[in-house]
DNA sequence: CGATGAGTTGTTAGA
DNA sequence: TTCTAACAACTCATC
């Protein structure tokens, strides 16, 4: 009996490329009778994740380019976009298209794992064989974590040591030269449009979201959707996606051997924008339109040949990829909790303003936040919309909104400003804005970088704080970057470009822009207006510094029971920055989720000690990581403190003792 | 175990 | 202009 030839569903997700795709190669190695290249238009990303027009456009670029490349290899084929959740549509396709194999690239963020587990189960039930191949990172995050003793990778040293135990980074696999025909794409089954509520992107839509009206799209041709179907405004970014552009960009970078071999991230200018000083490959890596392993080996080839002085890990290009793998490893080990403080065993708890609301039924943030301080809410709003009155911060936030990309150090500057170095606002608020606006947004990297900058994980030198005035001067004394993104300030003298409020009114008038108000008005009697700074930066920096010092001494992590039940407040001095005290603040925050509604308690010990709760479950994912000792041994009492001053006074009797 | 040096990416004053 | 030290002080890796 001759076995039937395989009929393969190749499910594209964040691997929108034909080159160096181990999963696609595995699909083709089956020598299938037919291969359907498909994409599921997943409602999770349409409604439940924050995605703005710029990243959507980038995705559509990637899909269109991929579809055209598929058609080039086989005129009968293309990318078949199905407007339905993978969790509901795939099982129907298995049947309707008589599928024998489902093949896809492994994805490791918390949602992706849950989704894929669900789909794999359905495939097994349908008798469909599933093939999953890694191709998204240098190392398989699961293996990396395993090699790191089952613990999340929290430093580059850990990544390097773990990587030494693994095989070397996989060499790129060849790009296919032909593709099998797709089979008959009949849609002889019921379409299940998703529920549009809740819609996290509702506020962005200028029109009804209508991408789910037909399974194969409005033309019935499985075509790539449009922004207008999503009810979104057109993209404003000039950065375009797609494998063709990605490979061209890669060639250009690699052709400049000196740039490639001497690249040192901290030395690149965050003020450079035309052209930018870094590679801008991150969005290609995010969508998989450029293989990180291809990039790795192309860079390694240059490093092997280059005779001059080279930059090294971690500042060189290879180091950048290692950081990416580090965040993937941390996310993999911690699951959903990695993207939030609540329940996160490796993220410090700081009593930030505007903390997230948490759903007590699952311990996950709801997407909404508490307004413990109306002032902080105003600061957050002004930060988001580029109206803080600090030109460097505002220019960056406007570039981010318009173009969907800012330099890594620019991200440092605005993140530090929002959290530990200015507003003392929860990093999760900032991460949400980045999630919406960045074209290269990646859950693990975004969460990781925000934790880094807010000094809640990965990094702890909170006394190193970016100044919105001194920092940009280092690479852009003239203020060209600010003049471009805050054009109302373009005629300001160099002397005042980063602190325009210091310009005498006569100079303000001469430059055609008055410094006044809080960002509401943009014009006054025919003269442009730029807001006054929303606070005294140096005063805020010192308040934040003291607050961070205090929170570090109190030393709570996101999985601590006191963090979970709200009793952390008892440990903080009443005068501490953040929602630590005051009847109204306490009611506003405690009322809803702690109150008398007790969360399920298991093994809880109300001893007042830093109990370590292991019931969140994420750790099980990596084979029962236990970190019971984590908070032990870090007790504040062990720490030597030589300063006297105000701070110690606050601690009197407040610190927990062991 | 304690001590020491390093840690991708700070700022400022003063030489 | 470019360099250094002081600022105040964190965790991690290594010896």
Read off the pLDDT of residues A492-540 as tens digits, 9 standing for 90 and up. 999 999 999 999 999 999 999 999 999 999 999 889 999 999 999 999 9
pLDDT band at A107 (very low <50, low <70, confident <90, very high): very high
A332 marked among binding-site residues: yes
Beta-bridge partners for A80: A38
Distance CA A556, CA A422 (A): 22
Confidence at residue A356, expressed as pLDDT on a 0 to 100 scale: 98
Average pLDDT value for residue range A28-56: 97
Nucleotide nearest to A473 (CA to C1'): B11
Confidence at residue A643, expressed as pLDDT on a 0 to 100 scale: 31
Q: Name the residues in A448-507 having a C-beta closer than 7 Å to nucleic acid strand B.
A: 452, 459-461, 463-467, 469-471, 474
Nucleotide nearest to A643 (CA to C1'): C8
Residues 6+ apart with CB under 8 A from A341: A347, A348, A349, A356, A426, A427, A428, A456, A558, A563
Confidence at residue A42, expressed as pLDDT on a 0 to 100 scale: 97
Q: Indicate if CB(A374) is under 7 A from strand B.
A: no
Confidence at residue A2, expressed as pLDDT on a 0 to 100 scale: 61
Q: Indicate if CB(A160) is under 7 A from strand B.
A: no
A279 marked among binding-site residues: yes
Bases in strand B with any atom closer than 7 Å to a protein CB: 7-12
Between A37 and A585, the more confident residue is A37
CA A474 to C1' C1, whole Å: 13
The answer to whether the CB of A187 falls within 8 A of the CB of A83 is no
Mean pLDDT (chain A) is: 89
CA A155 to C1' C13, whole Å: 10
Nearest CA-CA partner of A376 in A338, A329, A419: A419
Residue A366 has pLDDT above 70, yes or no: yes
Q: Name the residues in A296-325 having a C-beta closer than 7 Å to nucleic acid strand B.
A: 314-315, 319-320, 323
CA A162 to C1' C15, whole Å: 21
The DSSP output letter for A454 is T
Confidence at residue A287, expressed as pLDDT on a 0 to 100 scale: 98
Nearest CA-CA partner of A420 in A372, A350, A468, A471: A350
CA A459 to C1' B6, whole Å: 13
Question: Which of A8-22, A387-401, A593-607 is predicted with the least confidence, judged by mean pLDDT?
Answer: A593-607
Read off the pLDDT of residues A313-332 as tens digits, 9 standing for 90 and up. 999 999 999 999 999 999 99
Residue A100 has pLDDT above 50, yes or no: yes
Confidence at residue A388, expressed as pLDDT on a 0 to 100 scale: 98
The answer to whether the CB of A271 falls within 8 A of the CB of A480 is yes
CA A459 to C1' C13, whole Å: 14
Confidence at residue A630, expressed as pLDDT on a 0 to 100 scale: 32
Residue A642 has pLDDT above 60, yes or no: no
Nucleotide nearest to A455 (CA to C1'): C10
Q: Half-sphere exposure of A507 toward its Cβ, with a 13 Å CA cutoff?
A: 15
The answer to whether the CB of A12 falls within 8 A of the CB of A37 is yes
3-state SS assignment for residue A375:
helix
Confidence at residue A4, expressed as pLDDT on a 0 to 100 scale: 82
Average pLDDT value for residue range A178-191: 96
Nucleotide nearest to A315 (CA to C1'): B8
Confidence at residue A632, expressed as pLDDT on a 0 to 100 scale: 33
A280 marked among binding-site residues: yes
Confidence at residue A530, expressed as pLDDT on a 0 to 100 scale: 98
CA A470 to C1' B13, whole Å: 14
Confidence at residue A400, expressed as pLDDT on a 0 to 100 scale: 98
CA A454 to C1' C10, whole Å: 13
Read off the pLDDT of residues A251-280 as tens digits, 9 standing for 90 and up. 999 999 999 999 999 999 999 999 999 999
Would you mind telling me the total number of residues written for chain A in this entry? 658
The proportion of chain A whose per-residue pLDDT surpasses 70, expressed as a percent, equals: 88
C13 C1': nearest CA residue = A157
A291 marked among binding-site residues: no
Nucleotide nearest to A161 (CA to C1'): C13
> Following DSSP, what letter does each residue of A115-134 receive, concatenated?
HHHHHHHHHHHTT-EEEEE-
Average pLDDT value for residue range A196-210: 93
Which class for A609: exposed (0-12), middle (13-18), buried (19 or more C-beta within 10 A)?
Answer: middle
Read off the pLDDT of residues A59-74 as tens digits, 9 standing for 90 and up. 999 999 999 999 999 9
Angle (deg, nearest 10), helices A427-437 and A374-384: 30
CA A497 to C1' C2, whole Å: 24
Distance CA A111, CA A434 (A): 18
pLDDT band at A3 (very low <50, low <70, confident <90, very high): low
Helix (H) or strand (E) holding A105: strand A101-105
> Following DSSP, what letter does each residue of A24-67 receive, concatenated?
HHHHHHT--SEEEEEEE--HIIIIIS---HHHHHHHHHHHHHHH
| Residue A198: φ, ψ to 5° | -75, 150
Confidence at residue A637, expressed as pLDDT on a 0 to 100 scale: 31
Residues 6+ apart with CB under 8 A from A351: A547, A551, A568, A569, A572, A576, A577, A578, A579, A580
| Residue A392: φ, ψ to 5° | -60, -45
Nucleotide nearest to A471 (CA to C1'): B10
Within 10 angstroms of residue A459's Cβ, the number of other Cβ atoms is 14
A327 marked among binding-site residues: yes
A300 marked among binding-site residues: no
CA A593 to C1' B15, whole Å: 58
Categorise residue A225: left if φ over 0, alpha if ψ from -120 to 50, beta otherwise.
Answer: beta
Bases in strand C with any atom closer than 7 Å to a protein CB: 8-14
3-state SS assignment for residue A103:
strand
Residue A622 has pLDDT above 60, yes or no: no
CA A426 to C1' B8, whole Å: 24
Q: Name the residues in A565-584 having a C-beta closer than 7 Å to nucleic acid strand B.
A: none
């Amino acid at each position: 009996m001759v076995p039937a030839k395989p009929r393969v569903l190749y499910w594209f997700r964040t691997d929108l490329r034909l080159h160096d795709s181990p999963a696609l190669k595995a699909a083709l190695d089956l020598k299938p009778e037919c291969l359907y290249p498909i994409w599921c238009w997943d409602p999770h990303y349409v409604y439940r994740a924050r995605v703005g027009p710029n990243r959507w456009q980038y995705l559509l670029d990637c899909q269109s380019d991929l579809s055209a490349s598929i058609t080039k290899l086989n005129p009968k084929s293309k990318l078949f976009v199905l407007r339905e959740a993978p969790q509901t549509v795939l099982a129907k396709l298995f049947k309707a298209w008589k599928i024998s194999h489902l093949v896809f690239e492994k994805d490791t963020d918390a949602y992706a794992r849950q989704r894929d587990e669900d789909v794999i189960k359905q495939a097994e039930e349908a008798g469909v064989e599933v093939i999953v191949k890694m191709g998204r990172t240098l190392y398989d995050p699961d293996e990396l974590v395993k090699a790191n003793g089952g613990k999340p990778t929290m430093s580059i040293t850990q990544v390097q040591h773990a990587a030494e135990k693994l095989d070397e980074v996989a060499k790129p696999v060849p790009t296919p030269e032909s593709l099998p025909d797709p089979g008959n794409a009949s849609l002889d089954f019921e379409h299940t449009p998703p529920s549009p509520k809740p819609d996290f992107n509702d506020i962005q839509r200028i029109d009804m979201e209508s991408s789910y009206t037909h399974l194969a799209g409005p033309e019935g041709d499985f075509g790539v959707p449009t922004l207008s179907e999503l009810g979104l405004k057109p993209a404003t970014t000039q950065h375009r996606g797609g494998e063709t552009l990605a490979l061209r960009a890669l060639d250009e970078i690699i052709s400049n051997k000196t740039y490639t071999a001497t690249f040192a991230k901290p030395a690149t200018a965050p003020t450079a924008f035309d052209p930018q000083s870094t590679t801008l490959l991150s969005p290609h890596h995010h969508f998989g339109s450029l293989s990180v392993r291809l990039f790795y080996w192309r860079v390694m080839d240059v490093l092997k040949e280059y005779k001059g002085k080279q930059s090294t890990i971690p500042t060189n290009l290879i180091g950048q990829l290692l950081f990416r793998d580090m965040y993937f490893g941390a996310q993999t080990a911690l699951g959903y909790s990695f993207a939030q403080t609540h329940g996160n065993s490796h993220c410090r708890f700081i009593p930030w303003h505007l903390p997230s609301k948490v759903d007590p039924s699952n311990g996950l943030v709801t997407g909404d936040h508490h307004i413990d301080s109306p002032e902080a809410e105003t600061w957050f709003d002004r930060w988001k919309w580029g109206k803080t009155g600090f030109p460097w911060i505002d220019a960056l936030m406007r570039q981010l909104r318009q173009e969907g990309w800012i330099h890594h150090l620019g991200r440092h500057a605005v993140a530090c400003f929002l959290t530990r170095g200015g507003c003392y606002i929860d990093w999760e608020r900032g991460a949400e804005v980045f999630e919406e606006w960045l074209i290269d947004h990646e859950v693990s990297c975004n969460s990781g970088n925000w934790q880094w900058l807010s000094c809640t994980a990965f990094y702890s030198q909170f006394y190193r704080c970016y100044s919105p005035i001194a920092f940009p001067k280092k690479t852009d004394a003239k203020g060209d970057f600010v003049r471009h993104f805050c054009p109302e300030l373009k005629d300001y003298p160099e002397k005042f470009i980063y602190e325009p409020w210091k310009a005498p009114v006569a100079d303000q008038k001469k430059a055609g822009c008055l410094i006044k108000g809080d960002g509401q008005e943009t014009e006054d009697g025919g003269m442009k207006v730029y807001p006054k700074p929303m606070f005294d930066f140096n005063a805020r920096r010192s308040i934040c510094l003291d607050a961070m010092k205090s929170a570090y001494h109190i030393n709570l992590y996101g999985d601590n029971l006191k963090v979970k039940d709200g009793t952390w407040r008892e440990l903080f001095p009443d005068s501490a920055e953040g929602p630590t005290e005051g009847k109204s603040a306490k009611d506003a925050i405690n009322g809803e989720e702690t109150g008398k509604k007790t969360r399920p308690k298991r093994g809880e010990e109300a001893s007042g000690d830093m109990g370590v709760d292991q019931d969140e479950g994420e750790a099980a994912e990596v084979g029962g990581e236990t970190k019971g000792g984590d908070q032990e041994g870090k007790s504040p009492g062990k720490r030597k403190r030589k300063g006297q001053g105000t701070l110690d006074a606050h601690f009197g009797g407040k610190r927990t003792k062991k």
